[in-house]
Amino acid sequence: MTEQSSNRIKILVSTAFCGLMLFGCQNSSSQTGMYQQALESRQQITHSNAGEAVQLYERLYARNSGDIGITVKYAEALRKAGMPQQALTVLSPLAESQMKAKPAVLVEYAASNIAVGRFMHAQHALDKFYGLDKKNAADKDDLQPQALNLNGLVLSASGHHAEAEEKYREALASWLGNPSIVMNNLALSLAQQGKFDEALDFLEQAQRQSTPEQQGMHDQNLALVEKLQKKSAKKK
């Protein structure tokens, strides 16, 4: 995250989020079965398996670039493999289309924009997500926690830490799966407000539930908040 003033604390945040609910393929029934099986085989893309996932989805995307589910998973794999700009290139035609701007597209588009520091673009995508009509209600509800977490990151980037805290708490209340990423982000927003005890409590919870690839991030943030707490105590 880029510092906007000399007094702003550099923090480590993650735009990772779990389990995008994807849309069915739009080809023949046999192709649908094949693509759906491939999607499910990589339902959880992590930073450690993202390179392999990119190779898989690159092939599937080349064969069927019009499929929304495959496009979203390809973009997610690219982002988690450290190629968010390529993810944006893949997603832009769908995200900017009124007909194809589905919930999963907009959430992944927001995540990829955050990854390259384009916070206004991310907020625009999230605003479109919140404004989707009733036809997208089920998919929108499933992705609401992820959207709220991303919204928190956008608010944190502009220094609105109290507002970010609210978004993270909303996300955490309905989060499915491992909540350690949201706990991490919530803890950092609390620390920015001087709520160090609560921040440490959430970081310790996140650390206990974190995956091996997340452990380093949580350790760094825990050490950072403890240091800030001690520094704050000396000033009193």
pLDDT for position 180: 92
* CA distances from residue 88 to 83, 94, 173 in whole angstroms, order as listed: 9, 10, 29
Q: State the pLDDT at residue 214.
A: 81
Quote the CA–CA distance of 16 and 181 in Å, as a whole number. Answer: 7
Task: Fill in the amino acid letter for 189.
Answer: S
Q: Backbone phi, then psi, for 43, in 5-degree steps?
A: -60, -35
Q: What is the pLDDT of residue 236?
A: 65
Q: Specify the pLDDT at position 15.
A: 43
pLDDT of residue 21: 28
Residue 231's CB is within 10 A of a number of other CB atoms, namely 10
Nearest-angstrom CA–CA distance, 30 and 36: 10
Instruction: Give residue for tokens 């982002």.
Output: 79
User: CA-CA distances (angstroms) from residue 212 to 56, 81, 161, 188?
Assistant: 24, 17, 28, 20
Task: Indicate the burial class of 5 (C-beta count within 10 angstroms; 0-12, 13-18, 19 or more).
Answer: exposed
Count the Cβ atoms, other than its own, within 10 Å of residue 142. 17
Model pLDDT, residue 137: 82
- Tell me, what's the pLDDT at 99? 79
pLDDT tens by residue, the chain, 236 residues: 444 433 344 344 544 443 332 222 233 344 444 445 544 544 578 888 888 889 989 999 999 878 999 999 999 999 999 999 999 999 999 998 877 889 999 999 999 999 999 999 999 999 999 999 878 888 899 999 999 999 999 999 999 999 999 999 999 999 998 999 999 999 999 999 999 999 999 999 998 988 887 888 888 888 899 998 888 887 76
Q: Are 155 and 171 in contact (CB under 8 A)?
A: no
